[in-house]
Amino acid sequence: MGDIILKTTDLTKKYNNKVVVDNLNIEIRKGEIFGLLGPNGAGKSTTMNMICSIVHPTAGEIELLGKNPWKQKKEVIHKIGYIPQELAIHGNLKAWENVELFTSLYGIKGQELKNAVNDSLEYVGLLERRQEFAKNFSGGMKRRLNIACALGHNPELLIFDEPTVGIDPQSRNFILDKIKESNKKGATVIYISHYMEEVEAICTRIAIMDNGKIIACGTSQELKKLVNSGDENITLEEVFLTLTGKKLRDYAE
């Protein structure tokens, strides 16, 4: 395993008196595909928002690529590619215009920007549809475009927040293949999802988060061993439910 790319130390977030992230300590190494699982309200997105300097931590430290993303944002932020859960694209812009807009935010311009736009669109299989408005795309195409918008500046760390919600199996497989491809090319990936089979299929290490804490972390096999059910064919979902309980989580993060 490579160097530590992300480290949080006692990372805490409180909203009023409610603790959403509770003394979180995680380490992610370069080259990993790190899966983050957890029920609704577990604190996954808040954690990622703090790492991406969107939400200010109440306490604790974040070290991203050796820097503090809150104090040295300019030096580190361009190394992150953040793919939000929402389709964060403009429907009234064409596919290439969307990628151009969001890639340019990292200071890329001119021919380099044009190349980056084409490469990103080609990577997600939308180069031939580059002139079409995003609002006319299918759900799967929008998801792919959403990813392309975060790839243009060639980030070292890719954060995917539920990138396969509401799309068909073909698009899902395409996206998962591309995540693996990005990882092989050298990108470290943090993958947040509710789909256990996806996480199991692509992640090298998985953390299960609940009530703001990491309650288990390891490879898929290590997590299954944690739950001593005697069933050799236990699924990751069963492990998840055993660790987090079956009670409904209806609150939002």
Partner 1 sequence: MIRYLIKNNFKLMFRNTWSVAVMLLGPILVIAVLSSAFSELMKSYEGVDEFTVGYRIQEATETNVMIETAKVAREEAGILFYEYPEGEIKDIMEKNGLAGFVEFLDDTYVVYKSADYEVEGITLEYFMNKVMNAGVNVSLQLQEQTDIVLPVEELEFMPAVDSIDYYGIIYIVYFCWCGMICATGVLSNEKKYGIVRRFQVSNISESQNFLGKFIPITLTVTVGMAIATVITVLLYDIHWGNPLLSMFIVFMMIIAGNALGMMLYNISDSLVITIIIQFTIVWFMGFFGGSFETYMFSSISDTLKHLSPIYHGNRALIELSCMGESNYVTSAVLYSVAITVVCSMIAILAGYIRKRGRT
Residues that bind partner 1 (CB under 8 A): 15, 49, 52-56, 74, 77-78, 80, 82, 84-93, 97, 100-102, 104-109, 113, 149-150
Cβ proximity to partner 1: between 66 and 91 the closer is 91
Give the nearest distance from C-beta 117 to partner 1 in angstroms: 10
Residue 174 CA to residue 102 CA, distance in Å, equals 22
Cβ proximity to partner 1: between 89 and 214 the closer is 89
Cβ proximity to partner 1: between 57 and 239 the closer is 57
Cβ proximity to partner 1: between 123 and 173 the closer is 123
Give the nearest distance from C-beta 14 to partner 1 in angstroms: 9
Could you tell me the two tokens for 103?
A: 């890639």
Give the nearest distance from C-beta 159 to partner 1 in angstroms: 9
Residue 162 CA to residue 176 CA, distance in Å, equals 11
Give the nearest distance from C-beta 98 to partner 1 in angstroms: 8
Torsional class of 44: left (φ above 0), alpha (ψ -120 to 50), beta (otherwise): alpha
Cβ proximity to partner 1: between 25 and 104 the closer is 104
Give the nearest distance from C-beta 15 to partner 1 in angstroms: 7
Query: Cβ contacts of residue 134 below 8 Å, gap of 6+?
Result: 89, 90, 91, 92, 93, 94, 95, 98, 142, 145
* Residue 34 Cα distances to 6, 100, 168, 219, 222, angstroms: 11, 28, 24, 9, 14
